[in-house]
Amino acid sequence: MDVNAATHLLGGLSPAAFMRRHWQKKPLLVRQAWPEVAPPLPRPQLFELAAQEGVESRLVQRRGRDAADGRAWQVRPGPLPRRALPPLSRAGWTLLVQGLDLHVPAARAMLERFRFVPDVRLDDLMVSWASDGGGVGPHVDSYDVFLIQVQGRRRWRVAPPARGAEPTCLEGAPLKLLRHFAPTLEWVLEPGDMLYLPPNWGHDGTAVGGECMTCSVGFRAPAAGELARELLLRLSEEDGAPTLYRDAGQPATTQPGAVPPALTAFARQALERHLADPLALPRALGEILTEPKPSVWFDGRDGAPATGAALQLDPRTRMAYDERHVFINGESFVAAGRDARLMRGLADDRRLTAQQRRCLSAGAAELLEDWRSAGWLHEVAAVSAPGRSQALIPERAARRVAR
């Protein structure tokens, strides 16, 4: 992707300019950003998906007219058999299906247009289907989100982040809905229109004039405390016998309540030891960032012998790299030289041509075979030289919306 080329998707801005001017800073409404956009799957198939185990879905309904009454809102988590969904003719309900990209090739393909943002920031593509008047109420997300109107019309009302205090939530509601919502912007989005919202902007989308489908591409941002916890956990996984604190020199104490300074020093060393290796932190970080969502599992090898054909990452596979490592689905590998270049290409393009595959060292080829066995990547009949044409695309656990 040429990140300096102006694109319709971003209203004539280049991805580079969009990232400078809007990303994490201010909303962008783009009329006809994606004029040819189509629903990634028709409504009946979406409803079927929502009925499946392992697919994250929710039904949101508002009973009664008073949206400011928390008790008026109802949320039912999936799986949602068809009989759990209200009739289409009933106004005011919404079906949310998260992680559509994990299940539907066309949804995965939609994400390709947003790869000017690092993959490790991506969460998923969520689809919402709403009957007339349906919506999930005013809320804020901790996510950057591109809201793509794919069918019908939706009115979005948007408010800048509250200054100072944390926004308060509506009491009694099963979703984190805003108690005070003072929108300053309002648009009705038509099919093909797109709205980008940075985190913490209040928003409320309501279907107008009939059924409505919106795809939202969400980008997660790690929270410092949570990331530190996960890093420490991973860094502290002991390989070998645990190193126990020893205090053979501890004298008899007259102050049994006091923490021995030697124990404090031991604790400090225990932490420092994990960071002593300069590669330990980036390694743990890459592993954490490529950990698949908890709901994801891979089908192992189909038994077919390797043919040497082109390879394509499974839509559910998360792959990334840094200067020294290649990360895939929560695992890390040290890579250098030509192998590293090819592996990075695989992460960037999500595919490797048969010719590129032949250039791998024996060790790297064996690794790829392991990944193929695990179902992390697949052989595909033909893949042309890397490009980002959508047609080539075959195709974690916070929640967006009031999470």
Among candidates 136, 149, 142, 138, which has minimal Cα distance to 198?
Answer: 142
Stretch 90-149 residues interacting with Co ion (CB under 5 A): 141
Whose Cβ is closer to ligand SIN: residue 7's or residue 128's? 128
Coil, helix or strand for 9?
A: helix
**Position 58 contacts ligand SIN (CB under 6 A):** no
Q: How far is the CB of 287 from Co ion (least distance, A)?
A: 29
> To the nearest whole angstrom, how small is the minimum distance from the Cβ of residue 96 to ligand SIN?
7
What is the full DSSP assignment across 342-387? Answer: HHHHHHHHSEE-HHHHHTS-HHHHHHHHHHHHTTSEEEES---SS-
Residue 139 DSSP code: B
Contact 132, 157 (CB under 8 A): no
Residues 6+ positions from 281 with CB-CB distance below 8 Å: 231, 235, 275
Instruction: Select the binding partner of residue 128 from Co ion, ligand SIN, none (C-beta < 5 to 8 A, by kind).
Output: ligand SIN
- Identify the residue among 108, 203, 351, 372 touching ligand SIN (CB under 6 A): 203
Task: Indicate whether 98 belongs to the interface with ligand SIN (CB under 6 A).
Answer: no
Question: Among residues 221 and 265, whose Cβ is nearest to Co ion?
Answer: 221
**Residue 147 main-chain phi, psi, to 5 deg:** -100, 110
Distance CA 141, CA 54 (A): 23
Site string for ligand SIN, 76-95 (x = CB under 6 A): ------------------x-
Q: Is 141 in the site for ligand SIN (CB under 6 A)?
A: yes
> Which one of 57, 98, 128, 332 is in contact with ligand SIN (CB under 6 A)?
128
Q: Which is nearer to ligand SIN, 347 or 401 (CB)?
A: 401
Q: What string marks each residue from 142 to 181 as x (binds Co ion by CB under 5 A) or -?
A: ----------------------------------------
For 272-309, give the DSSP string: HHHHHSTTHHHHHHHHHHTPPPTT-------SPPP---
Smallest distance, ligand SIN to C-beta of residue 87, A: 19
* CA-wise closest residue to 170 among 183, 179, 159: 179
Contact residues toward ligand SIN (CB under 6 A) are 94, 128, 135-136, 141, 145, 203, 205, 214, 216, 400-401
